[in-house]
Amino acid sequence: MVPGRRLPAGEVVDLHLDAPETGQEAVGDVGDPHPVSASPASGGPRRRSPGWPPGRSGLGHASPVPLPSLRRRPTSPPDPDPSLPTAVFLHAHPDDEALLTAGTMATLAARGHRVVLLVATAGEAGLADAALQATDLGARRTAELAASAAALGVARTEVLGYADSGLGPEPGPVPPPGHLPRLADAAVDDVAVRVAAVLDAEDAALLTSYDAAGGYGHPDHVAIHRIGARAAQLAARTPVLLEATAPRDRLLAAATRVNRLLPRRHRVDLGPWQSAYSATTDITHVIDVRGQARARRAAMAAHASQATGGIRTLGVFRRIPSPLFGWAFGREWYRQPGLPPRDPRDRYRDVFATL
Ligand SMILES: [Zn+2]
């Protein structure tokens, strides 16, 4: 994970290094010793892409973007069985679904559940290299989201159209009048009503959101925590609400190990990690998603623009060879609000266990 060095073999960690930091180097510059089998049509992960054509390409339209993962779908989930409960996954930005809940989504789709993906923003304020920033990054990330959703067997994908609030010293711009606000500025009820309308239309039994910390603290992720809780209240049929999260102590341990490998100037300040994600005992559900490693990897590979613009979680994780990938990403964690602290050995293993 150190720019300019070979990737260490056998050293795999699960952590989220998504915060922009000045002075970071692009993972796209690192030599890649592992061919990426999930995107054969591209000959490997897409690196810097100059000359990206601007223009809108929302979901449901022909995309000008070559999206190898959309053409070569690694799994073919069955058509949803209407007798099985429907699950709605609410996320802040394109790529969050790949990082946090992709295995759960693919597992449910493979079992015949109808899986719906709601993403509040197009992720246009996220990190990317200069060539991408000069183009319509939101349109590109929306197209990437469609490819990821296809890889996971998602039946319906909606982008709600709020502006990406950005993170760190350069927050996303305030949209001009007549446009939806930044997600972090939007009234919780305004967004929650829209989410609840989808829950009602889908008669959804499950809604996922984020933990109270918003994972690593992105303001849009904190907003999704509040919006998810409110939408679950507003829905005609109250869904089981699960907050996607991760065990904080494991992340801290992994990040501490990675930090030791990095030159001092690249080390991550672990202070904010002390309150990121969730305490281990607050996690109520752990989902074994080892059987969906290919789908998860394809979903990550679909978000090619996320591999630019700095040390990015996706840029690093996509380079993990497949056998290790299933091991490193073999679990996804959730917290159901209102349930008492739980012994890790007694966690629920199915998202519908408390239905
Ligand atoms: Zn995000």
Question: Between β-strands 206-210 and 87-91, what pairing exists: parallel, antiparallel or unpaired?
Answer: parallel
What separation in Å is there between the alpha carbon of 282 and the centre of ligand 1?
A: 22
**What confidence score (pLDDT) does residue 23 get?**
38
**What confidence score (pLDDT) does residue 78 get?**
82
**What confidence score (pLDDT) does residue 309 get?**
55
Whole-number Å distance between alpha carbons of 304 and 92: 18
Is the pLDDT assigned to residue 290 strictly greater than 70?
yes
**What confidence score (pLDDT) does residue 208 get?**
98
pTM for this prediction: 0.76
pLDDT confidence bin for 247, thresholds 50/70/90: confident
- Rounded to an integer, the average pLDDT of 298-318 is 68
What separation in Å is there between the alpha carbon of 89 and the centre of ligand 1?
A: 13
**351, two tokens:** 């998202």
DSSP class per residue in 239-280: PEEEEEE-BHHHHHHHHHHHHHHS-GGG----GGGGGSSB-G
Whole-number Å distance between alpha carbons of 284 and 350: 10
The answer to whether residue 268 sits within a structural domain is no
Could you give the residue ranges of the DSSP H alpha helices within the chain?
68-71, 96-100, 102-110, 130-133, 137-152, 188-202, 219-234, 248-261, 293-302, 313-317, 322-328
Is the pLDDT assigned to residue 176 strictly greater than 50?
yes
What separation in Å is there between the alpha carbon of 95 and the centre of ligand 1?
A: 7
**133, two tokens:** 């920033």
The answer to whether residue 310 sits within a structural domain is yes
What separation in Å is there between the alpha carbon of 96 and the centre of ligand 1?
A: 5
The answer to whether residue 185 sits within a structural domain is yes
- Residue 22 CB: number of other CB atoms within 10 A? 8
What separation in Å is there between the alpha carbon of 307 and the centre of ligand 1?
A: 14
The answer to whether residue 143 sits within a structural domain is yes
- Rounded to an integer, the average pLDDT of 50-60 is 31
What separation in Å is there between the alpha carbon of 221 and the centre of ligand 1?
A: 6
Q: What percent of the chain clears pLDDT 90, i.e. is strictly above it? A: 51
- Residue 52 CB: number of other CB atoms within 10 A? 19
The answer to whether residue 93 sits within a structural domain is yes
pLDDT confidence bin for 127, thresholds 50/70/90: low
343 or 73, higher pLDDT:
343
pLDDT confidence bin for 204, thresholds 50/70/90: very high
pLDDT one-digit tens code per residue, 4-38? 444 444 444 444 444 433 433 333 333 333 333 33
Is the pLDDT assigned to residue 81 strictly greater than 70?
yes
pLDDT confidence bin for 327, thresholds 50/70/90: low
134 or 179, higher pLDDT:
179
pLDDT one-digit tens code per residue, 210-242? 999 998 888 999 999 999 999 999 999 999 999
- Rounded to an integer, the average pLDDT of 320-332 is 61
The answer to whether residue 38 sits within a structural domain is no
Is the pLDDT assigned to residue 142 strictly greater than 90?
yes
**What confidence score (pLDDT) does residue 252 get?**
81
Which residues have a beta carbon within 5 Å of ligand 1, which is an ion? 92-93, 96
**What confidence score (pLDDT) does residue 231 get?**
98
**What confidence score (pLDDT) does residue 324 get?**
52
- Domain count of the chain? 1
pLDDT confidence bin for 49, thresholds 50/70/90: very low
CATH number of the CATH domain containing 216? 3.40.50.10320
What separation in Å is there between the alpha carbon of 18 and the centre of ligand 1?
A: 8
The answer to whether residue 151 sits within a structural domain is yes
- Which of 73-82, 139-148, 251-260 holds the top average pLDDT? 139-148
Is the pLDDT assigned to residue 179 strictly greater than 80?
yes
The answer to whether residue 327 sits within a structural domain is yes
The region of weakest confidence among 73-82, 175-184, 299-308 is: 73-82
Structural domain boundaries, residue 125: 64-72+79-248+278-337
- Rounded to an integer, the average pLDDT of 260-274 is 80
3-state secondary structure of 125: coil
What separation in Å is there between the alpha carbon of 82 and the centre of ligand 1?
A: 31
